[in-house]
A and B are shown apart, each in its own frame.
Chain A
Amino acid sequence: MAQAATATAGRAPERGLDVYNQKVGMWVFLCSEVMFFAGLIGSYVVLRFGASDSWAQPGEVLNVPITAVNTFVLICSSVTMVKAFAAAEAGDQKGIKLYLVLTFLLGATFLGVQVFEYTHLIQHGEWQGSHGFTPRAGLYGSTFFTMTGFHGFHVLLGVICLGWASLQAFRGRWGSDHYHGIEVLGLYWHFVDLVWIILFTIVYLI
């Protein structure tokens, strides 16, 4: 360790990444989330290649146009999330409230549409002659509900946090000196959004 000890002379503090802990922690956590979804998506790919004839054509069972609109809603919510963060950094109280509430509403809309889609599929979905499309409907049903369901669960967690952040906004918690919470929540939200774009592509479009 002689060479390291030579560098002692100064006592420059170790400052890590110069990024606050919560942000580092969220990035680290998102790495773990990436692996979780990689496990699900990887399994989907393997299973689908193994049994491609038991897969429905795009649009045959799932309603692509409605989900496309829903995807757009989620992407918009990422935009408003960025706006909320920018407003917080700038100390624009009105903007913080407006954009957090908007993000919350857009996220909730996405969930609402997904719930509608699920109930419709379970009650009226038709595939391979069976009435009602459920997780029991072979690998196609298994993978569809597991993947979109876990994504929906992540959106739900995000929406709950957004609701909390919005409430805090009306109590004046956020501002130019206090925006870490919004930034960290934003990271999570964009991640959930990104995962959806991948899921939408592989589950609905191809």
Chain B
Amino acid sequence: MATIVAEATGQAILHEEHEQSFLRKYVFATDHKVIAIQFLFTTLFFLMIGGLLAVLMRYQIAWPAKTLPGGGILPETMVASGYILPEFYNSLVTMHGSIMVFFAIMPMLVGVFANYLIPLQIGARDMAFPRLNMLSFWLMVPAGILTLASFFVIGGAAAAGWTLYAPLSARPDLSGVHLGQQIWLVSLVLIGLSSILGSVNYITTTINMRAPGMTWFRLPLTVWALFITAILGLLAMPVLSAAGIMLLFDQTIGTTFFLPAGGGQPLLWQHLFWFFGHPEVYILILPAMGFTSEIIASGSRKPIFGYKAMVWAIVAIAFLGFIVWGHHMFQSGMNPTLGLSFTISTLLIAVPSAIKTFNWMGTMWRGNLRLHTPMLFAIGFVAMFAIGGLSGIFMASTPVDIYIHDTYFIVAHIHYVLFGGSLFALFGAIYYWYPKMFGRMMNETLGKIHFVLTLVFFNLVFFPMHGLGMKGMMRRIYDPTGYQHLQGIQDTNQLISISAFCLYASGFLFAFNFFWSLRKGRKAEANPWDATTLEWQTPSPPKHGNWKEIPVVYHGPHEFSHPDVADKDWLAQNERPDVTSPAGAH
């Protein structure tokens, strides 16, 4: 019993055999798996760049009086006689945030994993619109090139912070950046379009291309999370595009949308930006929650605790995410009554978030834990996300927020959810789905060392920042030693910086493991984790077209340790129930 795999209706695939040119297969590819891998390499590159910018910033904060070792290779406009210039520091802050959000984490969560997993997990051969998918990747590439190039134009890269508050961002004479800011906006519009086209694809595919039997409530939680995320992106991204275009017009053709001198409203920018920005926060965390759910169920050998609650929690978080943007603006002169309503809606998000956290713990409770690297990162995600979520509650309440606003407390919080949250889950997801993508396992020992180093140094970097924030250290400052009230904290800043360098270095351990395993890793079988979802029921890596025959789905997504299955502790979604035994009708 329970041995038959994927015998179903459907026709033998036609295009499996035919040969494609190199250009069609690897460059202008329409296969969702190839596009996902293109996104993966691109985003890992940007992750490295974004991290490097952070390392430079940390050096400046810890040792403002020392010259930057090796700074001589950078042009005079960035590092003059060995010292990082304040203007360049502003660009570092801005571009670190922008690159990490728009070119590393977001496309890695969505571009890589939505592309790779949605068709495979719902049992489709490809996306609904493969060519649109290709366009979505090839819009990101010029956006990325523009972003990197903006460092080298006259005036340097954008320097108004990744939130681009007007009028600082709208008037070149205030920020000192002319072309860099405009390039930033153009690349923002490109990446926005890329993201919208991607969302159209993911939504249509999920709605319309599920395999027979793949009902909504048999979708793996990853697909649920990615589907809801796509809706968020679809509705939030165009608002940012509209705002970005208005800002670009303010700079180029002389409109005055955000310029008080011409009657415009700087606050309008904040509303538009955060109307996008807060859903964006959930775009950055929901897919991570999806991966974590998947990995924790598989690593605990138990069905996910409260599957439907998990689904509705995702939906609730997404909905609430659209009505809380004002909590970024408590300090902007908002009517306190309005502020109160934003406080309440923000606090409400703690409820679905807590549902998810407790369900992950419930899943692990008395499970038969397999502590492989993906599982370690998933558990790390839950722990770090809990810290980040709890510090978020501080910010949600206006009186506390007014005190910690624009301090390192905020920096600590954002990194606990974005690094400790999203990136931990992403590392886990890469270790977990790597064998499916490349047909080889990543090295387990190196992976575990990478996990321990990341966990330790991550916390050494970001936990002390809570304290720095409480002591009043402001975000984005160039030289903390210049302030009377920050005299006593420079030791902590140096500890943070040294830990940050180690954290960055441990990333290279991951990179080494990643590239070494491409050639030398142990060959992966189709289902190395004994997992239940459809992507594991096809070879690693899957061929063009994914399936010989479209699978038929009979079970929910996480049927681990099923009492009716005797010979193994998992039941694939497409395993045909034995007609003579009641196993199929449980």
Contact = CB atoms under 8 A, between A and B. Distances in A.
Interface string B264-299: 110010011001000000000000000000000000
A138 B262 contact: yes
Contacts of B196: 29, 32
Given A32-B196, A32-B199, A136-B255, A8 B208 contact: no
Interface stretch (B158-166, B230-238, B347-355): B230-238
Contact of A47 (B264, B552, B586): B264
B256 A139 contact: yes
A40 B257 CA distance: 11
Interface residues on A, range: 35 or more
Contacts of A47: 257, 263-265, 268
Interface residues on B, range: 35 or more
A139 B264 CA distance: 7
A28 B234 contact: yes
B253 A136 contact: yes
B263 A51 contact: yes
Contacts, number: 156
Nearest to B240: A39
A2 interface: yes
Contacts of B466: none
A8 B554 contact: yes
B307 A39 contact: no
Given A9-B585, A139-B263, A14 B211 contact: yes
How would you classify the secondary structure of chain A's contact residues: helix, strand, loop or mixed? Answer: helix
Interface string A36-73: 11111001001100110010000000000000000000
A206 interface: no
Interface in B454-477: none
A43 B249 contact: no
Interface in B120-175: 128-129, 132
A5 B204 contact: no
Nearest to B8: A11
Contacts of A11: 212-213, 552, 554
B217 A1 contact: yes
A43 B246 contact: yes
B209 A142 contact: no
B264 A14 contact: no
A138 B256 contact: yes
B557 interface: yes
Given A28-B234, A43-B268, A135-B254, A38 B210 contact: no
Interface string A2-38: 1011111101111011010100110011011101111
A4 B239 contact: no
A91 interface: no
Nearest to B558: A1
A54 B585 CA distance: 71
Contacts of A138: 256, 262-263
A136 B255 CA distance: 5
B27 to A, nearest CB: 24
B170 to A, nearest CB: 12
A1 B218 contact: yes
Contact of A36 (B199, B201, B238): B238
B207 A146 contact: no
B546 to A, nearest CB: 16
Given A5-B559, A136-B253, A138-B263, 7 more contacts: A4-B217, A4-B218, A4-B556, A9-B584, A36-B242, A39-B272, A142-B256
20 contacts: A1-B217, A7-B215, A8-B584, A9-B584, A13-B212, A14-B215, A21-B204, A24-B203, A25-B200, A35-B236, A39-B241, A39-B243, A39-B272, A46-B271, A135-B249, A139-B256, A139-B257, A142-B255, A142-B262, A142-B264
Interface of A: 1-2, 4-9, 11-14, 16-17, 19, 21, 24-25, 28-29, 31-33, 35-40, 43, 46-47, 50-51, 54, 134-136, 138-139, 141-143, 145-146, 150
Interface of B: 9, 128-129, 132, 196, 199-201, 203-204, 207-215, 217-218, 234-239, 241-243, 245-246, 249, 253-257, 262-265, 268, 271-272, 275, 303, 307, 552-559, 577, 584-586
